[in-house]
Amino acid sequence: MKMNELKELGADELAAKIREARKELADLKLRHASKVDVEKPVRMRGMRREIARMLTVQAAAKKEAK
């Protein structure tokens, strides 16, 4: 998702997306570690970056709310 799209989400929706992304990343890591073919191993790096983007938006929203 793009930053603009993330900024438009509510706090609850953003938290839910972060949970989903972390779960997906954990699944990818597990499959990769167990030597199961992962179609796109580069997807793990993308997921980490996506989670970081979401956490940045979440932190900025919390800071604005103060």
Q: Which domains does the chain have, with CATH numbers?
A: 3-65 (1.10.287)
Rounded mean pLDDT of the chain? 91
> Higher-confidence residue: 13 or 3?
13
Rounded to an integer, the average pLDDT of 17-43 is 90
Asked whether residue 2 carries a pLDDT value surpassing 90, the answer given is no
Q: Are 1 and 53 in contact (CB under 8 A)?
A: yes
Asked if pLDDT for residue 66 goes beyond 90, the answer is: no
pLDDT of the residue at 36: 83
Cα(5)–Cα(2) distance, rounded to whole angstroms? 5
Residue with tokens 């979401």: 54
